[in-house]
Structure 1
Amino acid sequence: MILEGLVTTLSPEGELNIAPMGPKIPADLSMGTFVLRPYRTSTTYRNLKEGGEGVFHVVDDVLLLAQAAIGSPLVPSPETFAAKSVAGRVLADACRYYEFRAIVVDDVDERTTILVETLAEGRIRDFLGLNRAKSAVVEAAILATRTAFLPIDEILAEYRKFSTIVDKTGGPPERRALDMLTDHVRRAAESKASAS
């Protein structure tokens, strides 16, 4: 099963990176070990290759997830606190978090496979679930990261559906997130058009 969330890692210089990631977790939902699949070109991969530690977060803040997905500046920066068992930072507004260490890194392919073990976990607050608007933003964020290889027209067609859902069931954070993602996809379309 894939569980969407956010991963924080630190560079060798201590710079925080926040990235959306959907690790593969066991069917029994235990989080003793799980698999991350970052691309070799990603900051998450470089940080894990160098330091081997990070924190996976279960979140319901889809605006932060959307911002991280497209590399939008995180202003203000989300509040964090030091992890207890790894060199890392925990997002203070997460619902749950899992501090982990990489135990196997298979980076032969462009999309790597990193098996990690959980060293510590915590619950900050209840996760009440994602309503339809929040779920639509998560799907939109995933599509926004695929503009290089999916047809932009198809992505924008999905975004029109997402917009209806967000208008009906979301609030200002979900609308802001979807607007930001839509702008990102439109800029990608313009960039592709000018390159051809």
Structure 2
Amino acid sequence: MILESIVTTVSPSGDINIAPMGPWVNQPEVLSTGSGEGALTEGLPRDPGFVLRPFAGSRTCDNLLQSRRATIHVTDDVQLFADAVLDQIEHPEHMVRQIQHDGFRPLKHCHQWFAVEIQSITPEGPKYQMPCQVLASGIELPMFGLNRAKHAVIEAAILATRTHLIAPAHLRAQVAALTPLIEKTAGESERAAFDQIGLEIERRLKQQPELPNS
């Protein structure tokens, strides 16, 4: 399965990059392990078999090619997803903390985090395939739970990254189909994030050559 996550990486100069990414998860049942014996705790990692798939040329990809290390986060903070997709995160260094393993910067506020080291790197089309090993992991905060508006924001965020691939009419139709989920089930944070993404989608569509609608 694919996990919609937030990934932090560190550049050779020490800059923190926070970006959304959908890594493949080979053993998703590990993600839902509860508390108690065998639970995720720092220093006692359980490994769900992540495969990172960054786009070539992205800051995340460049950092991974250099360091071969990243921290994958499970979070339901849709405002963070929106800010990361739109590259509107200021002072990312204030949002992370250090752990005993070098090269990893977990977010201070997330549900779970996994510090991973890349085992191999294979180019595949516009992306790389990077199977990982978990070196450390932890649980920080409780998960809010399922909410249709949160999922709508994630879908809109993904659409914002594909304005150069999807015809404008089709893209706007997909955003419109998500709007009722926001209207019916969103809180203030979800509404703000969805509106923020919608404005950015329109800005990006106006700045690029028009795609055919079919």
Cα pair 2:25 2:48 within 8 Å, conserved: no
C-alpha distance after superposition, 1:83-132 (max 9, x if no partner) = 33241211111100000111101125321101111000000012132300
Residues 193, 33 of structure 1: alpha-carbon distance in 2 compared, 3 angstrom cutoff: closer
Structure 1 gaps, min length 5: none
List aligned pairs for 1:113-124, cutoff 5 A.
113-124=129-140
- 8 A Cα contact 1:5 1:56, kept in partner: yes
Corresponding residue number in structure 2 for 1:158: 174
Q: Which residue matches 2:12?
A: 12
2:159 aligns with: 143
Mapped pair 1:102 → 2:131: no
Larger relative strand fraction: 1
- Say which one has the larger Rg: 2
Q: Which runs of 5 or more residues in structure 2 are unaligned? A: 31-46
Match of 2:200 in 1: 184
Tell me how far 1:74 sits from its aligned partner.
Answer: 1.6
Name the structure 2 match of 1:91: 107
1:17 maps to amino acid: N
Letter in 1 for 2:158: I
Check the 8 A contact 1:39/1:112 in 2, yes or no: yes
Aligned partner letter, 1:95? H
Q: CA deviation at 1:141?
A: 0.5
Q: Does 2:172 correspond to 1:172?
A: no
SS at match of 1:82: coil
CA contact (8 A) 2:27 2:48 kept: no
Q: Which position in structure 1 is the counterpart of 2:81? A: 65
Residues 28 and 48 in structure 2, CA contact (< 8 A), matched pair in contact too:
no
Aligned-residue offset at 1:160: 1.6
Count residues in correspondence.
Answer: 195
CA distance in 1, matches of 2:108, 2:96: 5
CA RMSD of aligned residues (A): 1.9
Q: Of residues 23, 34, 50 in structure 1, which corresponds to 2:50?
A: 34
For 1:23 and 1:108, locate their aligned partners in 2 and report how far apart those are by CA, in whole Å: 14
* More displaced stretch, 75-84 vs 37-46: 75-84
Amino acid at match of 1:38: P
The percent identity for this pair of structures is 33
